[in-house]
Structure 1
Amino acid sequence: MPYNNIILTIYGEIIYNYKRNNKIISGICIAIGIYLIYIGIYYNVVSHINLGVVGIFIGLMILSFVPSNLIDIKLYDDSIHYYGEFFEKFIQNNNLNGNAIYIPPYTNLPNGGVFILNEEHFKIHLGNFDEETYKITSGNHSGILITPFPYYKFIKSIEEFSNTSFKSSDLNTTISILSSTLKSQGLIDTIDYDGYDEYDNNEVSNNNNNNNTITITVEDIKLKSCLDLDKKTAGIACPIISSILCSVALTANQLILLEDIKKEGNFVIITVKKMGTIDEYIW
């Protein structure tokens, strides 16, 4: 579609020239992204929604790639705040009352995705998911699919920088790499976790429920806008929390249910549950 090619060309030029004025260019990307998502939802055009998501992520990533001592934290915070506000209204308008599920890459979704339920009880059939469908229905229930993973390119850049594949790593390695990378960018102090860590992930579903719960603790998130978002919005719009959740899904190679995000003093505590492998939900 020529229109899509034009937008992609614009994004390409933006990425190529971002160092000249990263603040202005980041803002342009985010503005274009929000506009495209709005048009895509209004006219039910999935390609516009996907392009809009790409634009927003490029805008936020441009700030992420700047050396930590040059990052304008307030500007970064403001960008996430506006994106968070938009996404919060999107969740409310679509009556998405259930929790978010993070889906690792598989044949239908090669770059993974996040599925937000309209209620807690929803039978997931991953065989019905694909990159061109953003609203998934099952009987009288429905949910919204976001693909690729939020900040997927940012996660891939961390993997390339550390010469590590999260999909073939253990959880301890993944959390350590995320912690050191985000700290080097001045975005957090530390990340720690408590939970079952089994390198052979296919065996996890045979263990008891306690082994399927992971608690991740992030100390001193510098982006204050992340602390103001509700848990569903933070799991998508906050680059720190979203990157952690998507990376855990990659490492576990399982569907990950976001159960809770809460603040305790200087810490943000994220609780997730491993739901099972792709094969268990394909039909």
Structure 2
Amino acid sequence: MGRLLGGVLTAAGVILWYYGGTSGTTALVNLGIGTIILGLVAAVLPLGGQVGREVLPLTCGPSCDFFETLRRDLELEGNPVIVPPYENLPKGAVFLPKSSEFSPHLGRFGEGTVFVAGSERESGVLISPPAGWGIVEYTIENVGELAGTGLGYASSAVSSVLSALGLGSAEVFEKEDGRIEVFVRPLCDGPVYADPVSSAVLLAVAMGTGELLKVSSVERGSEHVKIVLERLGGIEKWL
């Protein structure tokens, strides 16, 4: 059943992608890409025996609360920074700077490192792998590599996987000033970087763009959150 559904979605995606390309309709092209990816995921995803989405917050809620307590207790004043995978951190990371005037030194980061020591501007707490790494890894295994694929493809890929897993979806937009807006439905009410769904989308976006991203603001609605990201440049800039 999964292969049949996946085949139908993939075929529909190809049609939408082709028609959008020939007619110059960008919205149809993006919709076609998303549908193709969703079809590929559905073809390999078992459709039975899944846990209901409403149960999942019970499992991740306490960890989200813990990270908020940790940040407050250690007086980490800087905005969270999403770090895409690179040699020192093959699974990426979330960096919580000590100071609001931060300047992360990626050469000090590494697997197994939690507290990053240095000057006031370089110090902070490193969370690696991020809470959403499992979802991103699943996306890579079933859809393909995300690194360097661009904002549109990477966000469509992880959104399609979230949809196939029954975890909702995400919408990502790039504004004229270069900022990135992410709309996603998280599993817990804690920090977005500690939520598996939200952090998966943020990490996928960082991988697609190949840049560090600062979480500038978070606005919570009734079910979804709006996350505004600021580009900080590529890995080489901060080594």
| Both structures adopt the same fold (TM-score exceeding 0.5) | yes
Q: Is the 1:257–1:273 contact (alpha carbons within 8 Å) kept by the matching residues of 2?
A: yes
Cα deviation, residue 111, structure 1 = 2.0
Identity across the alignment (%): 26
Taking structure 1 as reference, are residues 134 and 254 closer, same or farther at Cα in structure 2, changes over 3 Å only? same
Q: Is the 2:186–2:197 contact (alpha carbons within 8 Å) kept by the matching residues of 1?
A: no
Taking structure 1 as reference, are residues 133 and 69 closer, same or farther at Cα in structure 2, changes over 3 Å only? closer
Structure richer in helix, relative to its length: 1
TM-score, normalising length from structure 1?
0.62
Which residue of the partner structure matches residue 217 of structure 1? 183
Matched, 1:158 2:115: no
Taking structure 1 as reference, are residues 156 and 77 closer, same or farther at Cα in structure 2, changes over 3 Å only? same
1:129-174 per-position Cα deviation (integer Å, ceiling 9, x unaligned): 2223221133245200112233323211112112x21103121112
Which residue of the partner structure matches residue 20 of structure 1? none
Cα deviation, residue 248, structure 1 = 0.8
Which residue of the partner structure matches residue 195 of structure 1? 174
TM-score, normalising length from structure 2?
0.73
Supply the distance in 1 between the matched residues of 2:100 and 2:207 (Cα, whole angstroms). 23
Instruction: In structure 2, give the amino acid aligned to 1:169.
Output: T
Q: Is the 1:215–1:269 contact (alpha carbons within 8 Å) kept by the matching residues of 2?
A: yes
Which residue of the partner structure matches residue 269 of structure 1? 226
Matched, 1:185 2:152: no
Supply the distance in 2 between the matched residues of 1:88 and 1:156 (Cα, whole angstroms). 25
- More deviation in 102-111 or 134-143? 134-143
Supply the distance in 1 between the matched residues of 2:92 and 2:219 (Cα, whole angstroms). 25
Supply the distance in 2 between the matched residues of 1:222 and 1:249 (Cα, whole angstroms). 18
Cα deviation, residue 234, structure 1 = 2.2
Taking structure 1 as reference, are residues 68 and 265 closer, same or farther at Cα in structure 2, changes over 3 Å only? farther
Point out where structure 1 has 5 or more consecutive residues left out of the alignment. 1-64, 197-208
Supply the distance in 1 between the matched residues of 2:215 and 2:186 (Cα, whole angstroms). 22
Matched, 1:131 2:114: no
Give the SS at the match of 1:192.
strand
Supply the distance in 1 between the matched residues of 2:180 and 2:206 (Cα, whole angstroms). 11
Q: Please, what is the CA RMSD of the aligned residues?
A: 2.3
Supply the distance in 2 between the matched residues of 1:104 and 1:195 (Cα, whole angstroms). 18
Q: Is the 1:68–1:186 contact (alpha carbons within 8 Å) kept by the matching residues of 2?
A: no
1:99-140 per-position Cα deviation (integer Å, ceiling 9, x unaligned): 111111222222221110122112222112222322113324
Taking structure 1 as reference, are residues 171 and 147 closer, same or farther at Cα in structure 2, changes over 3 Å only? same
Give the SS at the match of 1:167.
coil
Give the SS at the match of 2:75.
coil
Which residue of the partner structure matches residue 115 of structure 1? 95
Please list every run of at least 4 consecutive aligned residues from structure 1 whose deviation after the TM superposition is greater than 6 angstroms: none
